[in-house]
Amino acid sequence: MANISLELEHTTFTAGSPVCGVVTFRTGKVTPVRGLGVRLHGVEGVKQSAARQANVSAASRRFLRQDFVLAGRAGLESAASWISDTWNTLMGRISHTRLQPGVSRHPFCLFVPPTAVPTYDGEGIYTSYAVTAYADRPFRKEINTTIEVLITAAPKSEPPHPFATTNNGLEVELDSNKLPAGGTVTGKFRLQLPQGSKAEGLRITLVRREVASYRARMKEVSKAEIAVAELEFDDQKSPLQEGTLSLQIPPGAHPSFEGHLIALRWTLRIETQPIGLAAVEAPLTVVG
């Protein structure tokens, strides 16, 4: 009876890095195969509990398939290609690789795409990756074994990316809206209140949003306040307030990403206290 095993040097990889290991194939007789290989595949999706609450489909989608062929040809990707291959085999138009009895070891290295989104397991959405070793046999069930792997974002050094926004008398200028996890958002504000109005201070909130594609548009499936800072004005009777603001992004904040089906987005919300006088939102990009 034929069997296959997979060994990886690691189970955590950075986007753009190699995934290396060894595939071992054992068989007691000559075994025809369409292909013997290794596959890195990624899946993204919306969790069922979040889908119900947001009234969207709990869909999943394979967004990555990368094959490293050790013998024969790459695995078939669709039912149509399988039917075509089977028919051509029956007609004698295709010959398959014949693996000899015994134990064969096949080292390999394939690369994680540098643009691969990192593994994410959120409240409402997820991305996951796995490496599968397979022996694709004609007219018989594929033999395979799978190891789940973790993909992390490649470290990036982003230049400052200033951002400014204004609404209802509240002007905010950020020194940069692209920062790494653990970095601090800094900037300045100017608040001009209507005559007779007064504000006690500002509330600065870092908001994480998980969104999913639904009927050709992106819909929010989860929202959470991750960090909050409060700034109190010295002269609360003055209609004009000016100053600086800052808020640290938690070191464990997951990098922003835009997938095919889902996305993770960050927003900085600055609003007056009491709430209702003025508020602005600024998009943030958390880089790896």
Task: Sort 121 into a burial class: Cβ within 10 Å, 0-12 / 13-18 / 19+.
Answer: exposed
Taking alpha carbons only, the member of 69, 143, 168 closest to residue 110 is 69
pLDDT band with cut points at 50, 70 and 90 for residue 84: low
Task: Report all structural domains of the chain as residue ranges with CATH numbers, in order of start.
Answer: 3-152 (2.60.40.640), 163-287 (2.60.40.640)
Q: What is the pLDDT of residues 131-171, one digit of tens each?
A: 999 998 886 788 999 999 999 998 877 789 999 999 999 99
How many CB atoms are closer than 10 A to CB 195?
Answer: 5
Mean pLDDT, the chain, rounded, equals 89
The sign one gets for the Cα dihedral 69, 71, 73, 74 is negative
pLDDT at 288: 81
pLDDT at 99: 86
The whole-angstrom separation of Cα 124 and Cα 116 is 20
Q: What is the pLDDT of residues 90-129, one digit of tens each?
A: 555 566 778 899 999 999 999 999 999 999 999 999 999 9
Across 215-223, average pLDDT: 83
Which stretches within 6-128 are classed as H helix?
Answer: 48-54, 79-90
Q: State pTM to two decimals.
A: 0.83
The whole-angstrom separation of Cα 165 and Cα 143 is 57
Taking alpha carbons only, the member of 67, 48, 66, 44 closest to residue 58 is 48
